[in-house]
C-alpha cells in the first residue's frame, strides 16, 4: 500500500498545540522562572541557578511531607482497592437493586471536595459531630484536632468514604463484562469460589483495576482540599501532605522560589511514578500474551 | 457413567409460564442411554442449549426431574453432577498456561499430580497442542482456545456425560473434520455418553449413532440417521434432514390412495380416515420423471450438483424437488412424475401417521 506523505497535516495539530501552550506550558514556564530566580518583588529577578532545588532536596521539612504522603497513598490504596473489589463482587448484577447500588455508590463521587472536607470536619467534632460525639460518649478519647493518630484516622476514613466508590464502580464494570460462559465453565470444572476470583474475575478486571490504582495513586498523592478543610495539616505538621506544605510555603510564607522548585520536583515525581507504573503494567500484559 | 433420564421435563425462562408458547422447552420424557453418542439437531432457538444446560445443572428446569441412573439430580449443583460441557465459544483461563488449563478440572478434584501430568499429555496429543503446553492461553487463536476448551471437556475420564454445545463453530473446516474424528475415537475408547448439539446435519450424522431432532422446544424424533431419512416422524425432520429436504404435498388421504386436486397417487399402506391438514411427504430421491405415469409436472430449473442433478419443478401448483440420477436425459417428453409408493409418508397436522397394510 502506498501512503501519501503530506506534512501539511501537521497544521491540523497546531490549534491544540497553541491551546496547550497557553493553558499548560506557559504557566509552567513561569513556575520554572521562579524556581531558578530569586525575587524581592517589583518584577526584579536574580539568577540563582539550582540553589532552590538543592535547598529543597536536602530540606527535612520536604522529606517529612514526602514520607507522610507516601504513607498516606499506600494506606488508602491498600484499603480502597481490596474494599472496592469486595463491594463490586457483592453488588447485585441486574434489576432494581443493581441500579440502586450504582446510584448510591456514585453519590460520594459527586460531592465537591471541600464539601466532603466540611462534612467530615463537622461529623468528627466532639462537641456537635455525630461521629465525634458518639465516640466520646462511648468512652473513646477521640479528638482529631489534638491527636495525630485520630487526625490520620479521620483523614483516611474520609478518603475511603469518598473514593472507594470509584474503585468499586470500575471493578463492577470489569465484572459485568465477563461473559456468563466463563462462570458456567468454572462450575463445570468444579472451580472453588477463590479459583473463580483468581483465574476468571481478577484477570478480567485487571485493565480497569490498573486504571483505578493509577487514578487513586495520582489523586491521593496530590490530595489537598479535604485534609486541609478537616485538619488544616495539623495537629502540628502531622497531616501536612505535600500539597498542603507547598501551599503553606508559597502562599503562607511567600517563599516563591523554593515553592516553585518544590512543585516542579513534585510534578516530576508524579509523572515518573505514573510512567513507571504504566510501563510495568503494559509490559506485564505483553509478556503474558507471548 | 449413567443413563440420563428426563421425566416430565419442561422449562420456561418466564417466572409464571402459562400457555404453551411461554415454554422454551415443552414437556418431554426422554432417555439418554449410557454410553450413547447422540447428536442433538435443530434450528437455532429450538431449545437445544436449554436442554443441555438443564442436564449439566447450569439451569434448573421449571418442572420435571433429571435422573442420572437412579439418582435424582434435579436439585444437585453442576459440581455434584460430574459432567463435562464444552461451549460454543472458547472459554479459557487466560492467565494459565495451556497445561494448567487442561489440568484445572483434575486439580479441582484433587487428583494425583503424576496422573494429571500423564493425562494432560495424552489430551494435548489428542487435540494436537503438545508443543504449546507451556504457553499462556492468552493470545492464542480462537481455534486453539476452542481446542483447549474441548480438551478440558475430555480430560476427566469418570464423567457421567460430555455435552458439546456446537463446539466446532469457530474451528476451521479441516480441523473440524479431524476433531470430530477424535471425538468419535474418544467415544469408542471410553464409552462416555456424549450429547453433541449442532445445527449442521452432516456433523450430526457423522458423529452420532442416534440423532435427536428438536423443533420448537420439543424432541420430535430420535433415531438412526437412516430412520430420520426414511421415516421422518414430523414434517420438520423431513425438511431439515436431507438436501434438499422432503417434498410435502397437500393431499386428501383415502384408504391407500392420496388425492391431489383430482389426481390420485397410490400409497404403500392403507390409512384410517385422518382429520386436520393432511400431507404426503416424498424424498426427492424417490421421485422419478416419467413419460406418462404419475402426476403432471412442469420443470422449472435443473441444477447440476455434481453426483446428480436436482430438478426444481411444480406439480399441481406446489413446488417439488426431484433428484435425477447422473446420465438420465432430461428431455421435453418427461412430463410426469412418479413416486415410489412405499417411500411415501403421510402426515396429519405435521406428524407422521403409521399406515396399516394396504
Q: Tell me, what CATH number does B42's domain have?
A: 3.40.50.300
| For residues B183-189, average pLDDT | 82
- β-bridge mates for residue B311, sequence order: B302, B322
Residue closest to B92 by CA, chosen among B62, B61, B129: B129
Domain boundary (B189, B214, B240) is at: B240
Residue A31 inside a domain? The answer is no
Query: Are the beta carbons of A288 and B95 separated by less than 8 Å?
Result: yes
Residue B358 inside a domain? The answer is no
B126 and B59 assigned to the same domain: yes
Residue A1 inside a domain? The answer is no
Rounded-to-integer distance, Cα B75 and Cα A216, Å = 45
Residue B108 inside a domain? The answer is yes
| C-beta of residue B169 within 8 angstroms of C-beta of residue B177 | no
Residue B133 inside a domain? The answer is yes
Tell me: pLDDT of B24 over 60.
yes
> In this predicted structure, what is the pLDDT of residue A158?
92
Residue A46 inside a domain? The answer is no
In this complex, is the C-beta atom of B13 within 8 Å of any C-beta atom belonging to chain A? no
Q: Which of the residues in chain A have pLDDT under 70?
A: 1-2, 285-290
B207 and B300 assigned to the same domain: no
Parallel, antiparallel, or unpaired: how do β-strands B37-41 and B193-198 relate?
Answer: parallel
> In this predicted structure, what is the pLDDT of residue B1?
59
B127 and B159 assigned to the same domain: yes
Window 43-62 of B: residues touching A by CB (8 A cutoff) are 53, 56-58
Rounded-to-integer distance, Cα A85 and Cα A75, Å = 16
Q: How far B78 CA lies from chain A's nearest CA (Å)?
A: 6
Rounded-to-integer distance, Cα A156 and Cα A148, Å = 12
B30 and B88 assigned to the same domain: yes
ipTM above 0.85, yes or no: no
Scanning the structure block, which residue is given the C-alpha cell 520536583?
A265
Instruction: Give the list of residues 6+ apart from residue B237 with CB closer than 8 angstroms, or none.
Output: B213, B215, B220, B221, B228
Q: How far B183 CA lies from chain A's nearest CA (Å)?
A: 19
Select from A185, A288, A289 the Cβ nearest to the Cβ of B91.
A185
Residue closest to B156 by CA, chosen among B111, B91, B210, B90: B111
Tell me: pLDDT of B5 over 90.
no
CA distances from B284 to A236, B213, B278, B309, B316 (A): 96, 20, 19, 11, 16
> In this predicted structure, what is the pLDDT of residue A71?
94
> In this predicted structure, what is the pLDDT of residue A165?
94
Domain interval for residue A74: 60-255+270-288
Residue B148 burial (CB < 10 Å; 0-12/13-18/19+)?
A: buried
Instruction: Give the list of residues 6+ apart from residue B295 with CB closer than 8 angstroms, or none.
Output: B260, B263, B265, B315, B316, B336, B337, B338
Residue B50 inside a domain? The answer is yes
In this complex, is the C-beta atom of B262 within 8 Å of any C-beta atom belonging to chain A? no
Residue A121 inside a domain? The answer is yes
pLDDT level of residue B153 (50, 70, 90 thresholds): confident
Residue A38 inside a domain? The answer is no
pLDDT level of residue B143 (50, 70, 90 thresholds): confident
Half-sphere exposure of A272 (CA within 13 A, CB side): 6
Residue B215 inside a domain? The answer is yes
Instruction: Give the list of residues 6+ apart from residue B298 with CB closer than 8 angstroms, or none.
Output: B313, B314, B315
Domain interval for residue B57: 4-240
Size of interface A-B (CB pairs under 8 A): 63
Query: Are the beta carbons of B87 and A181 separated by less than 8 Å?
Result: yes
> In this predicted structure, what is the pLDDT of residue A163?
93
CA distances from A214 to A156, A218, B316 (A): 18, 6, 75
B230 and B291 assigned to the same domain: no
In this complex, is the C-beta atom of A185 within 8 Å of any C-beta atom belonging to chain B? yes
Per the structure, how many domains does chain A have? 1
Q: How far A76 CA lies from chain B's nearest CA (Å)?
A: 28
Residue A261 inside a domain? The answer is no
Residue B190 inside a domain? The answer is yes
pLDDT level of residue B225 (50, 70, 90 thresholds): confident
Tell me: pLDDT of B16 over 90.
no
B167 and B222 assigned to the same domain: yes
> In this predicted structure, what is the pLDDT of residue A126?
85
> In this predicted structure, what is the pLDDT of residue B28?
83
Query: Are the beta carbons of B84 and A203 separated by less than 8 Å?
Result: no
Tell me: pLDDT of B247 over 80.
yes
B255 and B236 assigned to the same domain: no
Residue B227: DSSP 8-state: H
Residue in B closest to A198 by C-alpha: B95
Q: How far A180 CA lies from chain B's nearest CA (Å)?
A: 10
Residue A200 inside a domain? The answer is yes
In this complex, is the C-beta atom of B149 within 8 Å of any C-beta atom belonging to chain A? yes
Q: How many residues does chain B have?
A: 358
- Residues from chain A that touch B83, judged by Cβ atoms under 8 A, are 188
B31 and B174 assigned to the same domain: yes
We report the CATH number of the domain holding residue A150 as 1.10.3720.10
Query: Are the beta carbons of A190 and B136 separated by less than 8 Å?
Result: no
Sign of the C-alpha dihedral computed for residues B68, B73, B78 and B82 taken in this order: negative
Parallel, antiparallel, or unpaired: how do β-strands B161-165 and B84-86 relate?
Answer: parallel
Residue B81 inside a domain? The answer is yes
Q: What is the pTM of this model?
A: 0.76
Residue closest to B311 by CA, chosen among B319, B299, B325: B299
> In this predicted structure, what is the pLDDT of residue B350?
87
Domain boundary (B193, B223, B240) is at: B240
B194 and B155 assigned to the same domain: yes
B92 and B190 assigned to the same domain: yes
Residue B152 inside a domain? The answer is yes
Q: How far B14 CA lies from chain A's nearest CA (Å)?
A: 15
| C-beta of residue B170 within 8 angstroms of C-beta of residue B143 | yes
Query: Are the beta carbons of B84 and A188 separated by less than 8 Å?
Result: yes
B272 and B205 assigned to the same domain: no
- Which candidate in B78, B86, B98, B167 is best for mutational testing of the A interface (most A CBs within 10 A)? B78
Residue A250: DSSP 8-state: I
Segment holding B289, helix H or strand E: strand B287-290
We report the CATH number of the domain holding residue B254 as 2.40.50.140
Q: What is the pLDDT of residues B104-134, one digit of tens each?
A: 999 988 888 999 999 999 888 888 888 888 8
- Which candidate in A178, A190, A209 is best for mutational testing of the B interface (most B CBs within 10 A)? A190
> In this predicted structure, what is the pLDDT of residue A1?
59
> In this predicted structure, what is the pLDDT of residue B17?
75
B227 and B256 assigned to the same domain: no
Residue A138 inside a domain? The answer is yes
Per the structure, how many domains does chain B have? 2
In this complex, is the C-beta atom of B85 within 8 Å of any C-beta atom belonging to chain A? yes
Query: Are the beta carbons of B138 and A289 separated by less than 8 Å?
Result: yes
> In this predicted structure, what is the pLDDT of residue A287?
63
Domain boundary (B194, B217, B240) is at: B240
Amino acid at each position: 500500500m502506498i501512503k501519501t506523505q503530506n506534512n501539511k497535516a501537521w497544521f491540523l495539530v497546531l490549534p491544540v498545540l497553541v491551546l496547550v501552550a497557553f493553558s499548560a506550558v506557559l504557566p509552567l514556564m513561569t513556575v520554572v522562572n521562579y524556581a531558578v530566580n530569586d525575587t524581592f518583588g517589583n518584577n526584579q529577578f536574580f539568577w540563582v541557578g539550582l540553589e532552590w532545588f538543592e535547598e529543597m532536596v536536602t530540606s527535612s521539612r520536604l522529606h517529612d511531607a514526602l514520607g507522610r504522603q507516601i504513607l498516606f497513598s499506600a494506606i488508602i490504596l491498600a484499603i480502597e482497592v481490596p474494599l472496592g473489589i469486595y463491594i463490586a463482587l457483592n453488588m447485585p448484577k441486574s434489576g432494581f437493586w443493581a441500579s440502586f447500588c450504582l446510584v448510591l455508590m456514585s453519590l460520594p463521587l459527586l460531592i465537591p471536595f471541600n464539601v466532603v472536607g466540611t462534612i467530615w470536619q463537622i461529623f468528627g467534632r466532639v462537641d456537635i459531630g455525630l461521629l465525634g460525639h458518639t465516640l466520646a460518649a462511648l468512652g473513646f478519647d477521640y479528638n482529631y484536632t489534638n491527636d495525630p493518630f485520630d487526625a490520620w484516622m479521620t483523614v483516611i476514613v474520609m478518603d475511603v468514604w469518598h473514593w472507594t466508590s470509584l474503585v468499586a464502580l470500575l471493578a463492577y464494570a470489569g465484572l459485568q463484562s465477563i461473559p456468563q460462559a466463563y462462570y458456567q465453565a468454572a462450575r463445570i470444572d468444579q472451580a472453588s469460589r477463590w479459583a473463580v476470583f483468581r483465574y476468571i474475575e481478577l484477570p478480567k478486571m485487571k485493565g480497569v483495576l490498573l486504571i483505578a490504582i493509577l487514578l487513586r495513586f495520582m489523586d491521593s498523592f496530590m490530595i489537598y482540599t479535604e485534609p486541609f478543610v478537616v485538619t488544616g495539616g495539623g495537629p502540628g505538621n502531622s497531616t501536612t501532605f505535600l500539597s498542603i506544605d507547598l501551599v503553606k510555603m508559597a502562599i503562607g510564607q511567600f517563599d516563591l522560589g523554593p515553592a516553585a522548585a518544590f512543585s516542579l520536583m513534585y510534578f516530576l515525581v508524579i509523572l515518573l511514578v505514573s510512567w513507571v507504573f504504566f510501563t510495568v503494567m503494559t509490559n506485564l500484559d505483553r509478556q503474558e500474551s507471548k | 457413567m449413567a443413563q440420563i433420564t428426563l421425566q416430565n421435563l419442561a422449562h420456561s425462562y418466564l417466572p409464571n409460564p402459562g400457555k404453551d408458547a411461554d415454554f422454551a422447552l415443552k414437556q418431554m420424557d426422554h432417555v439418554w442411554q449410557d454410553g450413547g453418542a447422540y447428536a442433538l439437531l435443530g434450528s437455532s432457538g429450538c431449545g437445544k442449549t436449554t436442554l443441555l444446560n438443564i442436564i449439566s445443572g447450569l439451569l434448573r428446569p421449571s418442572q420435571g426431574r433429571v435422573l442420572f441412573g437412579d439418582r435424582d439430580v434435579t436439585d444437585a449443583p453442576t459440581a455434584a453432577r460430574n459432567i463435562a460441557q464444552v461451549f460454543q465459544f472458547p472459554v479459557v483461563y487466560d492467565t494459565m498456561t495451556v497445561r494448567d488449563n487442561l489440568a484445572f478440572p483434575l486439580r479441582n478434584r484433587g487428583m494425583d499430580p503424576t496422573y494429571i501430568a500423564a493425562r494432560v499429555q495424552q489430551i494435548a496429543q489428542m487435540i494436537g497442542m503438545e508443543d504449546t503446553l507451556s504457553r499462556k492461553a492468552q493470545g492464542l487463536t480462537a481455534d486453539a482456545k476452542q481446542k483447549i476448551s474441548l480438551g478440558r471437556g475430555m480430560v476427566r475420564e469418570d464423567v457421567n456425560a460430555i455435552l458439546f454445545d456446537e463446539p466446532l463453530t469457530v474451528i476451521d473446516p479441516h480441523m473440524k473434520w479431524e476433531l470430530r474424528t477424535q471425538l468419535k475415537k474418544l467415544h469408542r475408547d471410553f464409552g462416555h455418553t456424549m450429547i453433541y448439539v449442532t445445527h449442521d446435519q452432516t456433523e450430526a450424522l457423522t458423529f452420532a449413532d442416534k440423532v435427536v431432532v428438536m423443533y420448537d422446544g420439543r424432541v420430535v424424533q430420535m433415531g438412526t440417521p437412516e430412520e430420520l431419512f426414511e421415516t421422518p416422524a414430523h414434517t420438520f425432520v423431513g425438511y431439515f434432514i436431507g438436501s434438499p429436504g422432503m417434498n410435502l404435498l397437500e393431499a386428501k388421504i383415502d384408504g391407500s390412495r392420496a388425492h391431489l386436486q383430482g389426481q390420485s397417487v397410490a400409497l404403500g399402506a392403507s390409512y384410517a380416515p385422518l382429520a386436520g391438514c393432511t400431507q404426503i411427504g416424498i424424498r426427492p430421491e424417490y421421485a422419478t420423471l416419467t413419460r406418462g405415469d404419475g402426476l403432471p409436472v412442469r420443470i422449472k430449473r435443473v441444477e447440476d450438483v455434481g453426483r446428480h442433478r436436482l430438478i426444481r419443478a411444480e406439480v399441481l401448483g406446489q413446488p417439488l424437488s426431484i433428484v435425477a440420477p447422473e446420465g438420465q436425459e432430461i428431455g421435453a417428453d418427461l412430463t410426469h412424475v412418479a413416486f415410489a409408493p412405499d417411500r411415501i409418508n403421510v402426515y396429519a397436522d405435521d406428524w407422521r401417521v403409521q399406515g396399516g397394510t394396504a
